[in-house]
């Protein structure tokens, strides 16, 4: 499943995604004569995920990936996730 904003609403991109046997969840732009149906529930989940990543980027250590080892990065990611969940 590929979920994106209106700016990615192009016929070429949508055809490419569908050739890979993936479902597209991209809202149609206003000027489209035949807008595609949109699953609003799935699109709303995309928004939640996007806002979560924006919260993660506020922590410099996560955004720049100072922890070179995977275990260190994952542990810092878990800690930051807990802090944002509690806040």
Q: How many domains are contained in the chain? A: 2
66 with 77: CB under 8 angstroms?
no
Please report which confidence band the pLDDT of residue 4 belongs to, taking 50, 70 and 90 as the band edges.
confident
Q: Are residues 25 and 63 in the same domain?
A: no
Q: Are residues 33 and 48 in the same domain?
A: yes
Instruction: List pLDDT tens digits, range 21-73.
Output: 998 899 999 888 888 888 889 888 888 888 988 888 888 888 787 778 888 88
Q: Whole-prediction pTM value?
A: 0.63
Domain housing 28: 1-52
Q: Are residues 40 and 63 in the same domain?
A: no
**What tokens does 60 get?**
């410099």
Q: Are residues 6 and 33 in the same domain?
A: yes
Consecutive H or E run containing 42: helix 40-56
């Amino acid at each position: 499943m590929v979920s994106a904003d209106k700016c990615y609403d192009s016929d070429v991109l949508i055809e490419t995604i569908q050739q890979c046997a993936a479902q597209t969840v991209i809202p149609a732009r206003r000027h489209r004569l035949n807008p595609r149906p949109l699953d609003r529930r799935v699109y709303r989940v995309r928004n939640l995920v996007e806002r979560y990543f924006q919260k993660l980027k506020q922590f410099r250590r996560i955004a720049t990936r100072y922890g070179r080892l995977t275990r260190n990065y994952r542990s810092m990611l878990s800690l930051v996730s807990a802090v944002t969940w509690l806040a």
